[in-house]
Amino acid sequence: LNEHKHKELVSCVGWTAADELYSCSDDHQILKWNPLTSETSRVVRLPEDIYPTDFHWFPRNVGGKRPSHSETFVLTSSDGRFHLISRLGRVEKSVEAHHGAALAGRWNYEGTALVTVGEDGQVKIWSKSGMLRSTLAQQGCPVYSVAWAPDSEKVLFPAGKQLIIKPLQPSAKVLQWKAHDGVILKTDWNSVNDLIVSAGEDCKYKVWDSFGRLLYNSQPQEYPVTSISWAGDGQFFAVGSFDTLRLCDKTGWCYSLEKPQTGSIWNISWSLDGTQLAGACGNGHVLFAHVVEQRWDWRNLELTLTKRRTMRVHNVLNDAVDSLEFRDRVIKASLNYGYLVVATSLQCYVFSTKNWNTPLIFDLKEGTVSLILQAERHFLLVDGVGLYLYSYEGRLISSPKYPGLRTDTLNSQTVSLSSDTLAIKDKADDKVIYIFEALSGKPLGDGKPLSSSSEIVEIALDQKGLTNERKIAFIDKNRDLYITSVKRFGKEQKIVNIGTMVHTLAWNDDSNILCGIQDTRLTVWYYPNVVYVDKDLLPKTLYEKDASELSRNPQIVGFVGNEITLRRADGSLLHLHIPPYPAILHGHVRASRWDSAVRLCRFVK
């Protein structure tokens, strides 16, 4: 869309509903864009003395109900004020906030507070109506950007070359570290994966975890990096600088690089469903980009999202190619257990991999699905309001709830689904796992959640076997791996440690075999339940493989059959094979074919 609608530099952009974009510019206009119909209309012309610097919509999914004033946004401007403006363009309130320009303003996730930062180095917290609550920090240099922590208890802001995380509680400890060799221009903190990205005048962008550890450090770019922004679900982030737009994975490597001739990209905003982004460009353009070419693999099938509404299915055994068309744009998809589940903006499609011609289609209540998880008999959809469990026939089985549930922070590390159980790691208290029966949606057993002694990072349920023997494995923040059974019969639960320094884990889809990466080794636990029989037998059931050539921080993408798929830190996929015999043995034991099992053991010795 290369029509010059703004005369001057565009400073900031922001999405409302799925298909409306508002942009503000130094020519004092606020415009509204509709990328589907390519229509543009002027919302309001601001007074001549207001030069906008940053802009943020009021968060809309507060507690599931839509509040009356969700249609407002905050606009900070170069005269040191911030303005609360309604959707139709009426300026409802203007507040003197800073000496010099107010450089950025952000609502917290609940919509109860607002933070602004300015050239005077002050970080101020305001109430929803625009009354000053506190001055959080006073720096000696301008603060160019600001972001809220996922729990809205802390604020992240850059000061010169330092990054600072400051809690709202006055007595709590402040975290501060030197992050770049130049002034830091933009930061963003994602609510789903809890990671931080920063961009600076040293021409680099970096990814950090919330303790300030460096996870990724980019090569120096040609120009200073002027904007950086996470997609809502935390899988990608986008980086903008002069004539450059990059799409990067959350581990830092770059998917694609575009060179639009637009001057510097000052601000990037993702739509709520994470399928498209808009950039505010220095020459008055507004840039629209869509994420395509996502891929899903399962056994012998390979799927690619070729356009926004088209998927290509490639069967590598007989080279057959099918094309799937959808009515609306595809937001999320998942391929596993012989089914493909696709969520578009209004409907959900379920395909069986045996027949691509007759999908099952049902309508969705909310438009924005943020996560799809599959198990053998059913699948889970997570949207902005709740969790829904559907059978593959499209019937709603249950909708589990617990007090304080925030669905916008759930991801595949913190939710796990098996054929009869659902486990969710709580966001408010990181030491607790809620466990539900899948068919009824009620909490399992006596209704008390499973609690651990330290904060939990990642959870996973095993997929096979009896419900009474269902096991859950989890990694805590010291990177220790524990296993425990889900059912508790009154007695205190035994949580057993079965590994240390584990970075990532996955259960096999077909038998209860667990794999994980420990330090530089790939470890496979052939029979984790052995710890309940005799702990000394555990080392004999391990299979270890040196994985030092995998570089730092590889992630396990899938464990199907006897093939483990890993993604290395540079983004390449690696397939590793493990011996097939333990899986065959598990199958024999499940079907009580003991003769065959003994014969297999003798054959393998």
User: Which pLDDT does position 176 carry in this prediction?
Assistant: 94
Beta carbons of 408 and 192 less than 8 angstroms apart: yes
Residue with tokens 């000696």: 140
Question: pLDDT digits over 534-547, tens only?
Answer: 888 898 899 998 87
Please check the confidence at residue 34 and state whether its pLDDT lies above 90: no
Is residue 107's pLDDT more than 90? Answer: yes
**The pLDDT of residue 491:** 56
Helices (H) and strands (E) in the chain, counts: 2, 54
For the segment 510-521, the average pLDDT, to the nearest whole number, is: 90
What average pLDDT score do residues 509-536 get? 89
**Least confident window among 54-63, 296-305, 409-418, 521-530:** 54-63
d(CA 546, CA 521): 5
Indicate if the pLDDT at residue 370 is higher than 50: yes
At 356 the pLDDT is 92
Chain segment 372-390, per-residue pLDDT in tens: 999 999 999 998 778 999 9
Question: Predicted confidence band at 1 (pLDDT cuts at 50, 70, 90)?
Answer: very low
Predicted confidence (pLDDT) per residue in 377-436, tens digit: 999 999 877 899 999 999 999 999 888 888 878 888 899 999 999 999 987 788 899 999
The CATH number given to whatever domain includes residue 83 is 2.130.10.10
Q: Which of 178, 198, 221 is the last residue of a domain?
A: 178
Cα separation, 242 vs 105, whole angstroms: 24
Residue 141, CA atoms < 13 Å, CB-side half-sphere: 12
Residue 196 within any structural domain of the chain: yes
What does 349-404 look like in DSSP terms, one character per residue?
EEEETTEEEEEEEEE-SSS-EEEEEE-SSEEEEEESS-EEEEETTS-EEE----TT
Say what the pLDDT of residue 63 is: 46
Q: How would residue 65 be classed by pLDDT, with cut points 50, 70 and 90?
A: very low
Residues 255 and 137 in one domain: no
65 within some domain: yes
What φ, ψ does residue 596 adopt, rounded to 5°?
A: -60, -40
213 and 145 share one domain: no
Q: Do 509 and 559 form a contact (C-beta atoms < 8 A)? A: yes
Q: Is residue 3's pLDDT more than 80?
A: no
Q: Which two tokens stand for residue 193?
A: 């994966």
Model confidence pLDDT, tens digit, residues 110-160: 889 999 999 999 999 999 889 999 999 999 999 999 999 988 899 999 999
Q: Tell me, what's the pLDDT at 166?
A: 95
Burial status of residue 366 (CB atoms within 10 A of its CB: 0-12, 13-18, 19 or more): middle
pLDDT averaged over every residue in the chain: 88
Final residue belonging to a domain, choices 178, 199, 221: 178
Residue 13 CA to residue 456 CA, distance in Å, equals: 36
Of the candidates 3, 5, 37, 35, the one whose C-alpha atom is nearest the C-alpha of residue 20 is 35
Distance in angstroms (rounded) separating the CA atoms of residues 121 and 52: 18
**Count: domains in the chain:** 2
Residue among 434, 473, 474 at smallest CA distance from 457: 474
* Residue 67: per-residue pLDDT: 44
Residue 541 falls within a domain, yes or no?
A: no
The reply to whether 157 falls in a domain is yes
Residues 197 and 209 grouped into a single domain: yes
Asked if the structure places residue 500 within a domain, the reply is: no
pLDDT of residue 264: 92
pLDDT in tens, 553-587: 788 989 998 999 998 888 888 888 999 999 999 99
Can you give the residue range of the structural domain that contains 168? 46-178
Task: Determine the average pLDDT of the residues in 458-487.
Answer: 89
Q: State the SS3 of 282-341.
A: CCCCEEEEECCCCEEEECCEEEEEEECCEEEEEECCCCEEEEEECCCCEEEEEEECCEEE
Report if residue 109 sits inside a domain: yes
In this prediction, residue 337 carries a pLDDT of 92
Q: Is residue 448 part of a domain?
A: no
Flag whether pLDDT at 68 surpasses 50.
no
Residue 131 lies in a domain: yes
pLDDT for residue 64 is more than 80: no
Do 188 and 158 belong to one domain?
Answer: no
User: How far, CA to CA in Å, does 359 sit from each of 168, 326, 348, 379?
Assistant: 50, 11, 10, 15
Q: Verify that 166 and 133 share a domain, yes or no.
A: yes
Quote the distance between the C-alpha of residue 512 and its chain's center: 27
Let me know: does 146 contact 102? Beta carbons within 8 Å. no
Residues 104 and 208 in one domain: no
Statement: residue 217 has pLDDT above 50: yes
Share of the chain above pLDDT 70, in %: 96
Alpha-carbon gap, residue 475 to 456, rounded angstroms: 6
- My answer on whether 163 and 188 are in the same domain is no
The residue with greater pLDDT, 491 or 266, is 266
For residues 2 and 114, membership in a common domain is answered with no
Q: pLDDT-derived band of residue 549, with 50, 70 and 90 as boundaries?
A: confident
Last-in-domain residue among 134, 162, 178:
178
| 174 and 185 assigned to the same domain | no
Amino acid at 285: H
Whether residue 340 has pLDDT greater than 90: yes
Across 364-368, average pLDDT = 76
Q: What separation, in Å, do the N-terminal and C-terminal C-alpha atoms of the chain show?
A: 67
Pair (231, 112) in one structural domain: no
Contact yes or no for 213/196 (Cβ under 8 A): no
